[in-house]
């Protein structure tokens, strides 16, 4: 297994891993994401160099707290699941967060997403609280 951190100029690598995302990666959004120094995209490759998983993280900084890593999304291709790719990706993002001086890392997932909960716990995550997620869908709001 190899994990590679993608950055500026790696749009083709993101496109090659496009099957792992919820939808096809948008070229402009991909370039913007990769250009941000506080945005991180790590891709896992199997021994045949096929992309089989990714984790994305975003550093968030607040004046009274410092910087922490938000684990934005984790995906592992169905045939590659239960082989340690997810755990390795989460551990790699945690290591990167520590290297970059983050004081912690956090993620939200649904309480019925057993695979995600098992992966995050196996990688050292612990349940810190019960949260309520509220969101704003700006695409649905029309003036």
Using DSSP, state whether 120 is helix, strand or coil: helix
Give residue limits of the domains in the chain. 2-122
pLDDT in tens, the chain (143 residues): 999 999 999 999 999 999 999 999 999 999 999 999 999 999 999 999 999 999 999 999 999 999 999 999 999 999 999 999 999 999 999 999 999 999 999 998 888 888 888 888 999 998 887 777 767 778 766 55
Q: What is the DSSP string of 1-32?
A: -EEEEE-TT-HHHHHHTGGGSSSPPPHHHHHH
Overall fold of domain 2-122: Aminopeptidase (3.40.630)
Alpha carbons 138 and 29: distance in angstroms, whole number: 17
Which two structure tokens, joined as six digits, stand for 5? 């951190």
> pTM for the whole thing?
0.88
């Amino acid at each position: 297994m190899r994990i590679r951190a993608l950055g500026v100029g790696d749009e083709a690598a993101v496109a090659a891993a496009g099957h792992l995302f919820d939808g096809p990666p948008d070229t402009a959004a991909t370039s913007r994401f990769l250009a941000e120094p506080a945005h991180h995209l790590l891709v896992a490759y199997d021994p045949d160099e096929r992309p089989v998983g990714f984790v994305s993280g975003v550093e968030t900084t607040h004046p009274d707290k410092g910087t922490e890593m938000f684990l934005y999304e984790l995906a592992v291709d169905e045939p590659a699941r239960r082989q340690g790719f997810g755990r390795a990706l989460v551990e790699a993002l945690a290591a990167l967060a520590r290297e970059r001086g983050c004081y912690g890392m956090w993620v939200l997932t649904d309480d019925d997403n057993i695979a995600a909960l098992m992966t995050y716990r196996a990688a050292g995550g612990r349940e810190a609280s019960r949260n309520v997620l509220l969101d704003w869908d700006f695409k649905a709001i029309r003036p």
